[in-house]
Amino acid sequence: MLENLTAFKTGLVAAVLSTAALSPPATGAEAFSLPAQAPIGPSWARGAVLYQLNPHNYTPEGTLAAAQKHLPRLAKLGVDVVWLMPVHPRGQMKPRSEFLRANGGASPVPIPEAQRDTEFRGNPYCPRDHTQIDPLLGDFADLKRFTNEAHALGLKVMLDWVPNHTSWDSPLLAQHPDWYLRDTENRVKFHAPWEPIARLSYAKRDSGLWEYMLAARRKFVEEGGVDGFREDVAGKTPLEHWNWLRPRLDPDNRLLMLAEADETELLGPLDMVYDWELPAVYWRVLDGGEPATIIDDVLRQQHAKAPVGGAYLRYLFNHDQTGAARSHYHARFIIERIYGAQDGPTVPRHPEKFGVALPALHVLNATLPGGRALVFMGQEVGFYGGIPHNRVQGFKIPFDTPPSPALPDFYRDVAALCARAAIYGGSFRKLATARDDEVYAFERELDGERVIVAANLSKTQAQPVTLPTGTTRGLVDATPSLDGQPRDATARDNFDLPAGDYRVFATPLR
């Protein structure tokens, strides 16, 4: 494992130094290319599609056992990894906001009774006990039954982990007061900007915190059967800790480790980081009047930082960016520039920002080089409402009466594309279309397998597409269907793309 990490980082530095020669800046319709990319992470995660769910609100019952009943449906959907949001018991106490602000973002512990926020009802990311499961969800036997069925269906299970903080009523505050970040008056700091959580400190290597977090994760691997972790706010945990943790937790590289961060320095001890750029880039093209060629710049920069396959988690929605969201912290200034404000009623909800191009953008997320695609709970049936973080009794996503009944077949077809070696590890070549400001087209190729993708990123105008003569020779139409009906099986170099539409041509499967 350590040798692999060293080799990866050495290759990363070399790639950064050589990127300009490998892929000169493109101008106008001028194409660029990227070499084949060996996928990072465990071998089973090559081409993996992730599916995120909050077990508290995934079903009206809000239990692991109830969520387990959906696993056959998710397997049919073609996803590979079921990402469970935190299952730990949630804290039920926090200091009043005014009290924290008056004390420079810190509070004595225990919190003075008069300064407790009596309205606070918990949060998935303020764990009270990292070693236990919220009894409202079930117990370790329920988690093990969940992972056992997932494995029998060919699925993996990734658990959301919160390494940087605890709730304000965690027993650790009394048991290990030296594990927390404190101010000069020995008050515990909250993890800004999240008031419900008390921040841990990894500064003291010999405090016992490092070993505690390792042992707690091992418990969920060994007793719960989980196959990886999504590490919350991973960039705030020292890189030294990740380099220490990974070989001890996962010496055989069997776990998938996702960092909620965009610092590619984390790649090596962790397997994936977030792509916080592409959603805003899509909005810049769809509503901001910028050309689709700006996607080239993102791909070039990302490859320079991480020249490996599957390093970036690509999403349209997640628990922070639900269908009801209008803002996006990492794109707030771009949103303000395009829509006139960072948030509020004048800013369109995310589904309206994506508009008719939403399916095409998921196809791009799944097939552009360097990434793995995410499907958020409800997205697969066309449910784009708000999904609360906290438990809401009886909350129901209309899986049984989906707003878009044919949409699951679309996501299944996209997942099948992700399983192609040309997609998860192949080279990338931009294709000229004569409409490059609106149409983004490219080829992925590995060992003779080819996939051509073309997406019209205009929300209002159809576009004629003209690919170089012979581009699609030997390919068949592999376009994921939105209406449950197969496309014309004939691949062609010239075709029309309605507003927001897409086409995929690929080498026939044998």
pLDDT above 50: residue 267: yes
Among candidate residues 421, 443, 461, the one where a domain is terminated: 421
Residue 245 inside a domain? The answer is yes
Task: Tell me the mean pLDDT in the region 16-26.
Answer: 37
Q: What is the distance of C-alpha 69 from the center of its chain?
A: 24
Banded model confidence at residue 183, pLDDT cuts 50, 70, 90: very high
The greatest distance separating any two alpha carbons of the chain, rounded to the nearest whole angstrom, comes to 75
Banded model confidence at residue 392, pLDDT cuts 50, 70, 90: confident
Among candidate residues 421, 448, 471, the one where a domain is terminated: 421
What would the two tokens of residue 366 be? Answer: 């799944």
Banded model confidence at residue 7, pLDDT cuts 50, 70, 90: very low
On whether both 12 and 116 belong to a single domain, the answer is no
On whether both 30 and 63 belong to a single domain, the answer is yes
Q: Pick the more confident residue, 139 or 488.
A: 139
Residue 478 inside a domain? The answer is no
Q: Check: CB of residue 371 under 8 Å from CB of residue 310.
A: yes
Distance CA 188, CA 195 (A): 12
Task: Tell me the mean pLDDT in the region 221-238.
Answer: 98
Q: Pick the more confident residue, 4 or 447.
A: 447
Task: Tell me the mean pLDDT in the region 70-77.
Answer: 98
Residue 498 inside a domain? The answer is no
What is the per-residue pLDDT across 421-433, written as a single tens digit (0 to 9) for each? Answer: 999 999 999 999 9
Banded model confidence at residue 214, pLDDT cuts 50, 70, 90: very high
What would the two tokens of residue 477 be? Answer: 């139409």
Residue 306 inside a domain? The answer is yes
Task: Tell me the mean pLDDT in the region 230-252.
Answer: 98
**For the chain, what percent of residues have pLDDT higher than 70?**
94
Banded model confidence at residue 9, pLDDT cuts 50, 70, 90: very low
pLDDT reported for residue 397: 96
What is the per-residue pLDDT across 151-177, written as a single tens digit (0 to 9) for each? Answer: 999 999 999 999 999 999 999 999 999
pLDDT above 70: residue 22: no
pLDDT above 70: residue 468: yes
The domain that holds 268 is classified in CATH as 3.20.20.80
On whether both 17 and 67 belong to a single domain, the answer is yes
Residue 225 inside a domain? The answer is yes
pLDDT above 50: residue 18: no
Banded model confidence at residue 200, pLDDT cuts 50, 70, 90: very high
On whether both 101 and 78 belong to a single domain, the answer is no
**For the chain, what percent of residues have pLDDT higher than 90?**
89
Residue 473 inside a domain? The answer is no
B/e letters for 2-40, b = 16+ CB within 10 Å, e = fewer, are eeebeebeeebeebeeebeeebeebeeeebbebebbebb
pLDDT above 60: residue 289: yes
pLDDT above 90: residue 353: yes
Give the domain range for residue 116: 92-125+165-199
Task: Tell me the mean pLDDT in the region 302-325.
Answer: 96
On whether both 176 and 212 belong to a single domain, the answer is no
pTM of the model: 0.94
pLDDT reported for residue 30: 54
Distances in whole angstroms, Cα of residue 484 to Cα of each of 111, 308, 405, 412, 504: 57, 34, 9, 11, 16
What is the per-residue pLDDT across 327-336, written as a single tens digit (0 to 9) for each? Answer: 999 999 999 9
Contacting residues for 207 by C-beta, under 8 A, at least 6 apart = 176, 178, 179
What would the two tokens of residue 116 be? Answer: 């407790």
On whether both 116 and 137 belong to a single domain, the answer is no
On whether both 323 and 191 belong to a single domain, the answer is no
**Range of lowest pLDDT (13-22, 292-301, 370-379):** 13-22
Q: Check: CB of residue 160 under 8 Å from CB of residue 389.
A: no
Residue 117 inside a domain? The answer is yes
Going by C-alpha positions, the residue among 364, 380, 292, 360 that lies closest to residue 501 is 360
On whether both 292 and 306 belong to a single domain, the answer is yes
Distance CA 332, CA 64 (A): 35
Banded model confidence at residue 394, pLDDT cuts 50, 70, 90: confident
pLDDT above 60: residue 291: yes
pLDDT reported for residue 13: 38
Task: Tell me the mean pLDDT in the region 90-109.
Answer: 96
Residue 460 inside a domain? The answer is no
On whether both 248 and 368 belong to a single domain, the answer is yes
Going by C-alpha positions, the residue among 47, 59, 37, 224 that lies closest to residue 133 is 224
pLDDT reported for residue 8: 46
- Across the beta sheet with 476-477, the strand order is 33-34, 427-430, 439-446, 449-456, 502-506, 476-477
**Range of lowest pLDDT (3-17, 145-159, 392-406):** 3-17
What would the two tokens of residue 30 be? Answer: 């001028």
On whether both 194 and 245 belong to a single domain, the answer is no
Tell me how many domains the chain contains. 2
On whether both 66 and 105 belong to a single domain, the answer is no
pLDDT reported for residue 4: 42
What is the per-residue pLDDT across 480-492, written as a single tens digit (0 to 9) for each? Answer: 999 888 777 788 9
Among candidate residues 372, 404, 421, the one where a domain is terminated: 421
On whether both 138 and 253 belong to a single domain, the answer is yes
